[in-house]
């Protein structure tokens, strides 16, 4: 059975290089989603996603001794702050290199957008993700659900994964997602619907029940 994040965290703190490598691999999909949706369309044209993710992982390894958290939630928050710092640095660099409005990334630790969706943050889909894991649902439910989301979205087309991530993980409205990605609200709705269809085909429903999810139709 694969080691869990807390076990890997403990072993990495004890100096096991292999455990730290496994810990980084465990959150690669999460880092990719946070980086990709944080870059914005203009900055994406100037940098390679894989390079930014790799640089973020290098920072994770370099700064790991400074991390003092004890939970997966604390680790995710720390990873998000590292990515936020990296994106802010990139935004400042490219703004200086070529003055263009809106190049810098939105700070990842900023307060929720005023036009964000209200209500549950994708609770229905998150519940399904926990129940649809190949491991026992009790074990899956102990993982941070944002990590489960990132892993589930990894196999989707980029545009679909980005829209679903911003909707469920960032709790943004269609309008705000469109502004972030440079798309119309209608386009966002269409991508959202396609993404859910593709996701449904890759997920198994809970034993004895059908797969159900929040389709966002209330918006």
> So what's the pLDDT on residue 44?
75
> So what's the pLDDT on residue 130?
47
With a CB cutoff of 8 Å and minimum separation 6, the contacts of 108 are 34, 38, 80, 81, 83, 84, 87
> So what's the pLDDT on residue 139?
43
Question: What is the C-alpha to C-alpha distance for residues 26 and 210, in angstroms, rounded to an integer?
Answer: 29
Question: What is the C-alpha to C-alpha distance for residues 171 and 164, in angstroms, rounded to an integer?
Answer: 10
- Do 157 and 176 meet the contact criterion of CB atoms below 8 Å apart? no
Q: Which domains occur in the chain, in start order?
A: 1-105 (1.10.1740.10), 121-210 (1.10.10.10)
Q: Which of 154, 12, 134 is nearest to 75 (CA)?
A: 12
> So what's the pLDDT on residue 46?
78
Q: Tens place of pLDDT for every residue, the chain, 219 residues?
A: 567 899 999 999 999 999 999 999 999 999 999 999 988 767 777 788 888 899 999 999 999 999 999 999 999 999 999 998 888 888 787 766 555 444 344 444 444 454 555 444 444 555 545 444 444 444 444 578 889 899 999 999 999 999 999 999 998 999 999 998 889 999 999 999 999 999 888 775 444 444 344 445 545
Using a cut of 0.85, tell me whether the model's pTM lies above it.
Answer: no
């Amino acid at each position: 059975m694969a080691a869990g994040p807390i076990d890997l965290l403990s072993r990495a703190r004890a100096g096991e290089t292999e455990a730290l490598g496994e810990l980084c691999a465990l959150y690669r999909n999460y880092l990719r989603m946070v980086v990709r949706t944080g870059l914005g369309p203009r900055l994406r044209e100037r940098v390679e996603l894989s390079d930014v993710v790799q640089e973020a992982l290098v920072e994770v390894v370099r700064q790991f001794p400074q991390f003092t958290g004890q939970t997966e939630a604390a680790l995710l928050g720390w990873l998000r702050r590292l990515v936020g710092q990296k994106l802010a640095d990139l935004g400042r660099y490219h703004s200086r290199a070529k003055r263009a409005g809106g190049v810098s990334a939105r700070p990842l630790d900023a307060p929720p957008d005023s036009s964000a969706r209200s209500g549950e943050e994708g609770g229905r889909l998150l519940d399904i993700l926990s129940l649809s894991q190949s491991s026992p649902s009790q074990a899956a439910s102990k993982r941070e659900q944002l990590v489960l989301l990132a892993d589930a979205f990894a196999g989707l087309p980029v545009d679909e994964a980005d829209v679903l991530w911003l909707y469920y993980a960032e709790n943004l409205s269609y309008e705000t997602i469109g502004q972030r990605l440079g798309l119309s609200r209608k386009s966002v709705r269409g991508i959202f619907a396609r993404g859910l269809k593709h996701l449904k085909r890759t997920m198994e429903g809970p034993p004895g029940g059908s797969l159900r999810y929040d389709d966002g139709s209330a918006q």
